[in-house]
Amino acid sequence: MLELKNKIQSFQPISLSEMDEVALMTRIDEKFISSNHHIADILNKINQQYSILEINGKRSFSYQTEYFDTPNNILFNNHQNGKLNRYKIRFRDYIETKKSFLEVKFKSNKGITKKTRISVPFKEKNINSIAKKFIESQSPYLMKNLKIKVINNFERVTLVNILGKERVTIDFNLKFKSDISETKSKISNLVVIEIKREKGNIKSPLFSILKQKKIRPTSFSKYAIGSCLLDKEIKYNRFKKKLLLLNKIT
Per-residue pLDDT reduced to its tens digit, 42-52: 999 999 999 99
Quick one: pLDDT at residue 147? Answer: 95
Q: Mention every residue, 6+ apart, whose C-beta is less than 8 A from residue 148.
A: 66, 67, 68, 91, 125, 179
Spatial contact of 52 and 222, defined as CB atoms under 8 Å apart: no
Quick one: pLDDT at residue 2? Answer: 74
Q: CA 219 → CA 91, 118, 193, 216, 241, distances in Å?
A: 21, 26, 11, 10, 11
Which residue, 78, 85, 127, is CA-closest to 102? Answer: 127
Quick one: pLDDT at residue 84? Answer: 86
Per-residue pLDDT reduced to its tens digit, 9-44: 999 999 998 888 777 767 788 999 999 989 999 999
3-state SS class at 81? coil
What structural domains does the chain harbor?
2-249 (2.40.320.10)
Quick one: pLDDT at residue 201? Answer: 64
Quick one: pLDDT at residue 41? Answer: 94
Low-confidence residues in the chain, pLDDT < 50: none
Quick one: pLDDT at residue 179? Answer: 81
Quick one: pLDDT at residue 138? Answer: 98
Single pTM value for the model: 0.93
